[in-house]
Amino acid sequence: MIKTAITFCFCLLLIVCCLRSVSFAEEYKFDISEIEKKPYHLGGYIELSPSLSGLDRDASLYKLKFYNREEGSAIEEYNANLQLEGSYEKGISKLYIKTNTDYKKSYLGDSQKTMVYEGYLSLKPSSSLTVDIGKKTLKWGKGYAWNPVAFVDRPKNPDDPELSLEGFIVASADYIKSFSGPLKTVSFTPVIIPVYDHLNDTLGTKNRLNFAGRLYLLFYDTDIDFIFLSGGSRTTRYGVDFSRNITPSFEIHGEFAFINDYKKKFIDGSGNAYDSVYDAKSYLLGIRYLTEKDTTYIFEYYHNGTGFTVDEMNDYFPYIDNGYNTYLSTGNDSALKRASSLTEGNYGRMNPMKDYLYLRISQKEPFDILYLTPSITGICNINDSSFSLSPELLYTGITNLELRLRMTFIAGERYSEYGEKQNNYRTEFRARYYF
């Protein structure tokens, strides 16, 4: 299977080389028909991404997931993804839809899932006002890897922060006003988020009409947002973020979120469940720095006020291990099933602990190789000193084709976050074609 994948990758590279060799025969020209505006648009991308993950058979999360199956030392996955985008404009109105279809072939068999990521009607009576109704992503916050103030968004994956996300069904408006002077722009974005059966029901408590808002200012060349969410599906929360260029090549950004009465669910080493209610404060500070040699550094520190402490994780991981030992000796998997339900959306969320560092170093077009960007990304859990390290090669030299090869290595002591993940490493090749 892996040989097939490697052969596939090489074939793809060969096709790419052939495509390049035939693409430069004609002279450059600018045909005016290329810029003609049509009322409709259909586009998107298709993506293939085979991957190989090396399993850590001693890790708690391996035991939790694979306790009743034998998959050897590595698992292969073959993913295909189709993202379609369509829009239709007439007068002040625009209909927009984005769907995502995932096909996965893995040790669990074949699976396919199609979802509407976004689909809304947008009305634009003037350049100062936009009203949107439907499913959309709001993407609030200034952080690259994490966004503690993104109260009305699904959490993004810090390993791949630019992936599309599914939105929520909302009614929102954007009112913009520009000024001269140190305050250049003010905008206000009120949002209504209904949460009922089959309507945004993953957001929190049902049968609530929630309100959120964002006030944006461009003040003394600094982007500033004030954000809130209230209404009952989630506890009331407030946030503020900022972003500013200190020099043309040095940007700083930050976010602060205050979550009222956050309820944390956790267990002790014996599996007894507890709730703790407290006001959680999460924050993020980051920089983006570009050197004269076109190296970009993105560095962020994230404090997750809703995260677990080292002690809490030291209760959770042994609980899984004990459940696994019980399963081996008696065949009873009830503790593992309970641990599995506690993991879902809780201990198992992305970066479930308190303090993290993120560093991404990317070098644009090294050795004069146009469109090639090698990079390396590290995410470190400061609390338990475990980390992941992902070197990556990205090539975008062929029009509409994006090739990415990425490896991820993870390391950490026993009962640390990365030390207990099911994988030791993961290699993924991704070919994405836009149309």
Residues that bind other proteins in the complex, under the rule CB under 8 A: 20, 23-24, 28-30, 32, 34-35, 37, 43, 45, 89, 94, 124, 126-128, 130, 137-141, 144, 161-165, 174, 176-179, 184-185, 187, 189, 216, 218, 221, 223, 243-245, 247-249, 251, 253, 288, 290, 292, 294, 296, 364-365, 368, 370-371, 396-397, 399-402, 434-435
With respect to other proteins, which residue has the nearer C-beta, 139 or 263?
A: 139
With respect to other proteins, which residue has the nearer C-beta, 217 or 407?
A: 217
Contact 420, 310 (CB under 8 A): no
With respect to other proteins, which residue has the nearer C-beta, 164 or 385?
A: 164
* Residue 249 to residues 252, 292, 297, 362, Cα–Cα distance (Å): 10, 9, 10, 14
Contact 65, 323 (CB under 8 A): no
Distance of CA 274 to the CA centre of its chain: 29
With respect to other proteins, which residue has the nearer C-beta, 43 or 269?
A: 43
Shortest Cβ distance from residue 273 to other proteins (Å)? 36
Shortest Cβ distance from residue 47 to other proteins (Å)? 12
Shortest Cβ distance from residue 296 to other proteins (Å)? 8
Shortest Cβ distance from residue 346 to other proteins (Å)? 26
DSSP letter for 234, please.
Answer: S
* Residue 331 to residues 68, 323, 335, 353, Cα–Cα distance (Å): 10, 10, 11, 31
- Partners of 359 in beta bridges: 299, 378
Pick from 404, 415, 332: nearest CA to 381: 415
With respect to other proteins, which residue has the nearer C-beta, 186 or 310?
A: 186
DSSP letter for 357, please.
Answer: E
With respect to other proteins, which residue has the nearer C-beta, 164 or 340?
A: 164
- For tokens 């390396």, the residue is 376
Shortest Cβ distance from residue 397 to other proteins (Å)? 7
With respect to other proteins, which residue has the nearer C-beta, 278 or 371?
A: 371
With respect to other proteins, which residue has the nearer C-beta, 162 or 344?
A: 162
Give dist(CA 120, CA 99) in Å, integer: 12
- Partners of 213 in beta bridges: 190, 228
Shortest Cβ distance from residue 356 to other proteins (Å)? 20
Pick from 415, 375, 358: nearest CA to 63: 415
Task: For the beta carbon of residue 364, count every other beta carbon within 10 angstroms.
Answer: 16
Give dist(CA 318, CA 327) in Å, integer: 14
Give dist(CA 158, CA 144) in Å, integer: 8
Give dist(CA 329, CA 323) in Å, integer: 10
- For tokens 């602990």, the residue is 353
Shortest Cβ distance from residue 428 to other proteins (Å)? 18
Angle, alpha carbons 187-251-307 (nearest 5°)? 80
Phi first, then psi, for residue 336 (nearest 5°) are -65, -40
Shortest Cβ distance from residue 350 to other proteins (Å)? 17
Residue type, 299: F
Shortest Cβ distance from residue 377 to other proteins (Å)? 16
With respect to other proteins, which residue has the nearer C-beta, 233 or 243?
A: 243
Shortest Cβ distance from residue 32 to other proteins (Å)? 6
Tally of helices (H runs) and strands (E runs) in the chain: 4, 18
With respect to other proteins, which residue has the nearer C-beta, 33 or 270?
A: 33
